[in-house]
Structure 1
Amino acid sequence: MFNKVLIANRGEIAVRIIRTLRDMGIVSVAVYSEEDKSSLHVQLADEAICIGPAKSKDSYLNIVNILSAATISGVDAIHPGFGFLSENPRFAKMCEECKIKFIGPSHSVIDMMGDKSKAKELMSQNKIPIIPGSDGAVKDVIEAKKIADEIGYPVLLKAASGGGGKGMRIANSSDEIKKAFEGAAMEAKSSFGDDRLYLEKVILNPKHIEFQILADEYGNVIHLGERDCSIQRRNQKIIEEAPSPVIDKSLRDEMGKTAVRAAKAVGYKNAGTIEFLLDKDGSYYFMEMNTRVQVEHPITEMVTGIDIIKEQIKIAAGERLSHEQKDIRISGHSIECRVNAEDPYRNFAPTPGNIIGLHIPSGIGVRVDSFIYQGCKVSPHYDSMVAKLIVHGRDRAEAMSRMKRALGEFIIDGIKTNIDYHFNIMDIENYKSGDYDTGFINTYMGVD
């Protein structure tokens, strides 16, 4: 097992990783920007090293500075968390070259799955159902229009190297292809430095279902059930739950086996997520693979009792999986709400500032993953998420009741948040019944 691990991240996920490292008796090393010198992850870590100014490109995306910090501190491994460099194949490769274990899959797998068109091609070759669309990247507007005319509208133009909802445009007819292509390519170039796009048919009103997988270095792969991530705003997840309210055991087993086959097809190792779109008639399609731990991993932990971060570390250290598929049992129901520093009534504008008052909910079945404390500063330089409120109940009804209670107790003074927005969602009948899809926010909350 590792003696010392550096966390190449910040915020709540850095705090989350540090806590598991402490549980395991492993020394933790935090890195931080000048802006984050008073952040909670810096205070909780055994050691902390400043890696640059506030801007992410000069600190949390600065590979040379992070690897220098790792070398100076003498770590055995680096955990990248999510975001920043977690899906950067160059960073993973440089860790390997520096003889520092990257807690995640190999750089070649990250590279392969990071290219969405290549990932789809590989899945198709392995009989994993994929959404109809282009074979790889489309070279220009003319080719995009030709494919779209063949498969039918609406179609989605999507960044080949993308993620997080960036570089995506829908075309509802041939007249809209040119504008959608140019807009998606421009945003893809700006966000990822790569303007290649692929095209796929839009699955109308789907469910967004993802399966958590774990894979060790000995060819063992299991899944931990599904998460329903269909409540999204501008292609960004805001509420997730496990298990999905619309998936029965038979479909869960089928989709789970497909997710395991997909992971094996790419030779995957460590924790990852296979994401599917599920349509109204129960057909499902591979969308993408996330080669890292997900923001929403806690709800899977709540229903399985498995510490996913701990499993990541053990797998990276060369240990076999702690569980077999037959050991995995889904117990109860869990829901997560992402609490963001944003104003829902001003088009969700970010609301950085100082937290002058704070009450964090607690009680049976309530968990809060966060980095905030009274008096801390929420920076304008980073993602607006300040906390994840997670609840667990015997069933979905109890989990929803518990979430409303916890949201009502959660007080953050000094900045505006989306807590009330989440509370309002809990009262909508289609959410309460589980009858919702990725169009929910646009339909019921008046914004997409």
Structure 2
Amino acid sequence: MRNIFFLLIFAALPCGAQEKLRVKSEESLFLDLQKTGLGSLTEFEEKKKFLETIKLEKQKVQGKMLGYVYDNAFEYYRNGNYEDAKDLAMKILSIDPNYQDAQMLLEASNQLRGSLRPGMSEKLMIEDRFKNALSFYNEGRIVEAHSKMTEVVKLSPNNIKAKYWLARMKDDLKDYYSQKGLEKYNDRDLKAALDHYYNALLIKPRDAGTVDWITRIENELRQQRANDKLKEALEFYARGRLRDAHAGLLRAIEIQPGDSKATKLLAEVRAEIESGYLAAGKKLYGSRRYTEAIGEWDKAKPYTANMAYLNKLISRAQEQMRLEAQDKKRRSDEAARRAKAEEEAQAREEAARKKAEEEAKRKGVTVEEVVKKPAGVSEDNRLAAQQHYIEGLKFFQNSNYEKARDEWTIARQLDPGNADTAAGLKRIENILSGGQ
């Protein structure tokens, strides 16, 4: 009765109050969740799943609540209070229009309310429904007969005759669904056949024959779906859409894990996809586009059976990138050092020229006459020349004759009298001209 009380309170609320009790929209619900500490569900899919869970829980609570209300309505019905039974049944149907027991109770209450002799009227109604159920049964309309007899038993739980016929109809109904399932199976409508056999299983849950048929049909249905996916994958493969073929084969194997054809074809498709990425990566590597090459080899990883080989290719490209970066930096540093040395040499030559001009002016002679005199080599020039000679010697020992000649040429300009520099330059000329 307590449930009835709450339901009546809800019905008595003014429209404005009922509006406030309505379920909020998903957007407002998200905002409320954030206020209550559930705002960490940032992903839309997570929020959607959360709302679906709430919906399922709400349905469970609603089903349990309506069950309590129905129990109270049926209690009214058994006590002959058909008016209140009708009202509660209508309230149940306003919440869940598919509540069949409430619909049955509403029809019975409407039929009996206002009767002068309710007890006699109820017996007549039950008997009439019982006869209708038997009539359907005799006509071979097993499903309708079972449904009607179920209503008789629910409305009159102590009716032994109705219980007997209901049990008998259950056996026939199970056979009916099994027969329908077999017919659909022979017509190769596997989904419909499975539905019928499941209906039979609901009537007799422990029937081994029904379970065997369900297992058999489900296996065939899985194989059929797997074959459809395999066929779709083969079509993609024929059109060169390898990744789509790969996805289709994965779905086929997911449906039927033991499918050897799909497994074999999947290995071939994986190999082709990997081969394509490998070839593209090697081509990019040959063009010294190492980052793009690594990207192609990374794409091959989901399809490879030899991850070590891919990692080796990627490591090689990364090492080559490192070496080329080092070489570029070394050449840049070397060019900067050479430019600085040349700049210093030019500065020294300019200083020597100015000094010669000043000396020529002071002595009243020409610059050429001053320059003819051996001015000697300064200590700074001699040390700088020696440093360039040593650098050139390093290049010479590494067979880098061009750079060695550049260094020794600078050294000779700084110290023309350095015999080692002259000998080194002469030897390089002999080597480059084909001599020893």
* TM-score normalised by structure 1 residue count: 0.23
Which structure is richer in relative contact order (CA contacts within 8 A, separation 6 or more)? 1
User: Which structure: greater strand fraction?
Assistant: 1
User: Which structure: greater helix fraction?
Assistant: 2
Larger Rg: 2
